[in-house]
Structure 1
Amino acid sequence: MSTLAGCGSNDALAQQAKAGDNKNYIAGDGSVTEYAPSQRTPPVVLTGELYDGTVIDSTDWAGRVVVLNFWYAACAPCRLEAPRLEALWERFQPDGVEFYGVNIRDEEQAAAAFERTFGVTYPSMQDKNGGILLAMAQYVPPQAVPSTLVLDRQGRVASRILGLADQGILKTLIVSALDG
């Protein structure tokens, strides 16, 4: 007998989605998961397009740790974590760590305004059609926005944060991926 998790009425994310409170996002539960190398799934395969038209392909990330953050401009927790992510991007850029935002809703103007307002300098991919989010769901489904994934040097999901990323925890997860 198989059980389908996450669809029942006891699922906190499903309850938020049904609440109808117009807050425009489903908050993650704040859970942090780090996967041992032996538990990691095959490498992530995705292609995305930056707002400037540059095509990004996950095969170009070989040998690098990558941080993917799923966000959109009207998401209150995304606004809180943007400066934290930028600080970590600046800290780990010399180590070759790549950061990419994955904007799941906004047109270029809204995304650019958000990035200017919060000082975000790492690039974001536009994903209004959900292709990147869908590609990631087969590995580690980002069930809420914001969600942050850390990929190891082999392109596998090493860790995830569902909800607002704590800067200290994310720093530890990045260091762990660099060391692993």
Structure 2
Amino acid sequence: MTSLMSRRALFAAGGAALTVALAACSGNDPLADQANAGDNKNYIAGDGSVTEYGAADRKDPVAFKGVLFDGGTVDAADFVGKVTVLNFWYAACGPCRIEAPDLQALYTDFKSQDVEFLGVNVRDEKAAAEAFERNFGLSYPSVADKDGGVLLAMTKYVPPAAVPTTLVLDKLGRVCARILGVAEKGTLKALISSALTEK
């Protein structure tokens, strides 16, 4: 399980009540530990480790709703029937900058194959997020998740535990893979391709 970040960690203004409510879920989670330390570190850098979940080990389809930076809304139920890539990021995160061009390239490569990409921005105001998207030419949408709603919803399935984290959802909406840290292009491509071939 994981905990919502304090104001000085990933969420900057996450809200004390929600932080307290989530503290009980923390366990041995580096993202939660950093938040509790309150040391103003910009991100938890994952080691690039990949976890794949066999069909029998996957939990229920993920459920969340969010508001996009362009004002639209998103519901995880809308992605059922497609392979979905969820990428947790924010603009000042160095590793997020490293992987952004590859994420956009993969989005372009797969967008005609029933693959959806959705960013989940855990920290930024609209102006900072949109500047990042312009700088890196990102054309897939992102949820404004400064309050941690989407991140919190995901903790019951697979805790992100780092920023960036990239999750691949199968066609039923279940988490089938997780990458902690920078998503290497070849690795993520293979995970998406594998999910696409599942019946």
- TM-score normalised per structure 1: 0.90
What code does the residue aligned with 2:28 have?
G
2:173 aligns with one of 152, 155, 170: 155
8 Å contact from structure 1 (residues 33, 160) kept in 2: yes
Which residue of structure 2 lines up, in the alignment, with residue 111 of structure 1? 129
Which residue of structure 1 lines up, in the alignment, with residue 51 of structure 2? 33
Which residue of structure 1 lines up, in the alignment, with residue 21 of structure 2? none
Query: Bigger CA drift: 155-164 or 11-20?
Result: 11-20
CA distance in 2, matches of 1:135, 1:12: 16
- Partner of 1:28: helix, strand, or coil? coil
Relative to structure 1, the CA distance from residue 112 to residue 40 in structure 2 (aligned partners, 3 Å threshold; closer, same or farther) is: same
1:132 counterpart = 2:150: yes
CA distance in 2, matches of 1:121, 1:19: 34
1:89 counterpart = 2:91: no
The 5 A counterparts of 1:36-51 are 36-51=54-69
After superposition, the CA RMSD in angstroms is 1.9
Which residue of structure 1 lines up, in the alignment, with residue 197 of structure 2? 179
Which residue of structure 1 lines up, in the alignment, with residue 71 of structure 2? 53
2:117 aligns with one of 94, 99, 105: 99
8 Å contact from structure 2 (residues 67, 73) kept in 1: yes
8 Å contact from structure 2 (residues 31, 161) kept in 1: no
- Partner of 1:68: helix, strand, or coil? strand
CA distance in 2, matches of 1:121, 1:12: 28
1:79 counterpart = 2:79: no
CA distance in 1, matches of 2:35, 2:66: 29
Identity fraction in percent = 58
Relative to structure 1, the CA distance from residue 107 to residue 15 in structure 2 (aligned partners, 3 Å threshold; closer, same or farther) is: closer
CA distance in 1, matches of 2:185, 2:35: 25
CA distance in 1, matches of 2:135, 2:72: 23
8 Å contact from structure 2 (residues 80, 171) kept in 1: yes
Listed one character per residue, the Cα deviations across residues 118-164 of structure 1 (whole Å, up to 9, x for unaligned) are: 11110000000000000001100000100000000000001000111
Displacement of 1:14 in angstroms is 3.9
- Partner of 1:111: helix, strand, or coil? helix
What code does the residue aligned with 1:72 have?
Y
Displacement of 1:167 in angstroms is 0.5
8 Å contact from structure 1 (residues 106, 126) kept in 2: yes
1:146 counterpart = 2:164: yes
8 Å contact from structure 1 (residues 13, 26) kept in 2: no
Provide structure 1 residue ranges, at least 5 long, that are not aligned to the other structure: none
CA distance in 1, matches of 2:31, 2:139: 33
Count of residues in Structure 1 that have an aligned counterpart in Structure 2: 173
1:6 counterpart = 2:28: yes
CA distance in 2, matches of 1:94, 1:60: 17
Relative to structure 1, the CA distance from residue 12 to residue 146 in structure 2 (aligned partners, 3 Å threshold; closer, same or farther) is: closer
CA distance in 1, matches of 2:66, 2:167: 16
CA distance in 1, matches of 2:145, 2:38: 25
What code does the residue aligned with 1:122 have?
Y
- Partner of 1:63: helix, strand, or coil? coil
What code does the residue aligned with 1:36 have?
G
Displacement of 1:5 in angstroms is 5.3
